[in-house]
Chain A
Amino acid sequence: MTKRRTWVYFIPYGLWLALFVIAPVALIIYQSFFDLGQHFTLTNYSTYFRSATYLKMTLNSVWYAFLITLFTGLISYPTAYFIHQLKHRQFWLLLVILPTWINILLKAYAFIGIFSQAGLANQFLTFIGIGPQQILFTNASFIFVATYIQIPFMILPIYNALDDLNPAFVNASKDLGASTWQTFRHVIFPLTLPGVKAGVQAVFIPSLSLFMLTRLIGGNKVITLGTAIEEHFLTTMNWGMGSTIGVVLIVAMIVVMLLTGDQKTKGGTPR
């Protein structure tokens, strides 16, 4: 009786898991073993790992995802720390979350307007006497917009980690003679590191496969793995190769998860 009930609750989750997680991954892995002529083969993988273009693309993806994560982190940690000290922190946090409710494409198009030749950014540059510059379709603008979009996803876990931090740890550190900076370095940062890791996961992995932004903002100068997959599926119709890159992407994600996962630290898990 009870057992049957439990099964009923599992149905929505089970369906979701089967249809949207297991089936797609299985299909991608399956597809990656077929070439254009529908022959079962390993050539896709050998092509991928022998081709300088693909490897360079992979490196590019990782490099840009790394830069985006780095800048996001450099902005998010101080921001989260600052918001956490404020009086109406829930309100200020809401303002950070607000942009995530707007569709990413909409935000991308907004930036096209802002960064265009006659856009707001260039108007400002003209005003301060630098004159109009090529902003749109540069790597810098790509990283800028991607960072902008990812920031809330990094701020939230860091904020939560700061919120979970027992204030007694900070007092204890000061009590033992630590300055504000030493307290941050030796106590606050190590104890909020799980939040940073969660943020890195939430930012780095999606950044690996960004493709709309690379085209709309980056002008396709940077070809990331995401762009490559899209091209293979929609333009060159080489589903096998697209799937292979997909598999590489999945493996990369797993590696990132393992690297940033919760290792059992020597001192045990923070409170």
Chain B
Amino acid sequence: MTQPLITLRNVTKRYGNHTILKNINLTLESGKFYTLLGPSGCGKTTILRAIAGFMSVSEGDVLFAGQRINEVPANKRNVNTVFQDYALFPHLTVAENVAFGLTLKKVAKAEIAERVAKALKLVQLAGYGDRAISELSGGQQQRIAIARAIVMAPKVLLLDEPLSALDAKLRRQMQYELRDLQQRLGITFLFVTHDQEEALAMSDEIFVMNQGEVLQSGSPVDIYDEPINHFVADFIGESNILPAKMIEDFQVAFGGHQFECADAGIPDNEPVEVVIRPEDLTLTTLDQAKLTVTIDTQLFRGDYYEIAATDTLGNDWLIHSVNPAEDGETIGITFRPQDLHVMRFGEKEAEFDARLETYEELEDDGVDET
């Protein structure tokens, strides 16, 4: 395995009695797109500031390519930041902004001009060099902020909610562009956002955070399909989360019935929670139904209908369906065993991963036999 580029080891940050980061451990490898995802105030920006060097940590180590950099000031670190409000210098032109870091490094003038032009071209703003910052739109300022950072050729680019000030359409476009830029440059990106859609769309790996802790890390698909707990399931995408009981391996009970599922390694009869994504539920006739629900309301979302329903025990259900239903109609819903995901209360990420590994192997073996 290659040397990790950035490692946070047991990092804790306290302000007085307030703990912002609780024992954070994370590893960033070269050339990947990472996202810190969490609600505001969860400590994701604090991690960014610790890596950038704007803030010292109370405990633990920040490592860069294996070297401890806790005491290295921000201006000596080989990382650059794209700030949330861009922080472009208003007294300088676009080109002067982009050239700022190179000028300080006393790079030759011709080389600066060349690199600035290249960076501007990369963010599709070639020829904007002489403009004033105030003449640029929000999206253009965003790109200049990126150009100003990447022109320094950093090993890691830190992005602090860089898209939050843009409108929805521009935001989507910038998501594609950022992802594309990251892949072309091969720089490690560490992207901070509270927008789960953004995180799912762009990342190689996501760290889901809440209240100063990393709850779960993994690929977008892993986190979406196998959330570790109620918070992650609820925060990432829309979900139906129900109280349930583990009967035995691959058998779980909820909504008054027992169902086959794809989870194992949980003690029998343990109270658990079950997640079903709304798009995994299918409307069906009553005789084929796994559960019976009554339709409350439905909203047309363009590519699907978002249907709110209630089952016979009074649980609320959210269903995404291509076909509409009728309000007040009693209808069946069905799902496949692999659409169910069982979550244990208070399970830590390490235990969760270990448990998944045991029965996923088992599952694979089973597939081989048939």
Contacts and interface: CB of A to CB of B under 8 A. Distances in A.
Given A266-B132, A267-B132, A175 B81 contact: yes
Interface in A140-179: 166, 168-169, 171-179
Contacts of A265: 91
A168 B83 contact: yes
B91 A190 contact: yes
B91 A267 contact: yes
Which among B75, B132, B149 has the greatest number of chain A C-beta atoms within 10 A?
A: B75
B88 to A, nearest CB: 8
A171 B89 contact: no
A202 B36 CA distance: 49
Contacts of A269: 90, 134
A268 interface: yes
Contact of A267 (B80, B83, B89): B89
Interface of B: 52-54, 73-76, 79-81, 83-85, 87-93, 96, 100-101, 104-105, 132-135, 148-149, 152
16 contacts: A171-B52, A174-B53, A174-B73, A175-B52, A175-B54, A175-B149, A176-B101, A176-B104, A176-B152, A178-B100, A179-B75, A187-B89, A191-B89, A265-B91, A267-B133, A269-B134
Which among A176, A177, A178, A186 has the greatest number of chain B C-beta atoms within 10 A?
A: A176
A271 interface: yes
A271 B133 CA distance: 11
A261 interface: no
A50 B118 CA distance: 62
B87 A266 contact: no
A124 B135 CA distance: 59
Contacts of B134: 267-269
A182 interface: yes
B75 A175 contact: yes
A176 B91 contact: no
Interface of A: 166, 168-169, 171-179, 182, 186-187, 190-191, 265-271
Contacts of B84: 168
B19 to A, nearest CB: 22
Given A168-B85, A267-B92, A178 B104 contact: yes
Contact of A171 (B74, B88, B91, B93): B74
Contacts of B100: 173, 176, 178, 186
Nearest to B74: A174
B82 to A, nearest CB: 9
Contacts of B53: 174
A175 B91 CA distance: 18
B146 to A, nearest CB: 13
A50 B150 CA distance: 63
Contacts of B104: 176-178, 182, 186
Contacts of B81: 171-172, 175
Contact of B75 (A168, A177, A267): A177
Given A171-B54, A171-B83, A268-B132, A178 B75 contact: yes
B75 A271 contact: no
Contacts of B83: 168, 171-172
A172 B91 contact: no
Nearest to B94: A267
Nearest to A179: B75
A188 to B, nearest CB: 11
A266 B92 CA distance: 7
A173 B90 CA distance: 13
A182 B73 CA distance: 14
B135 A174 contact: no
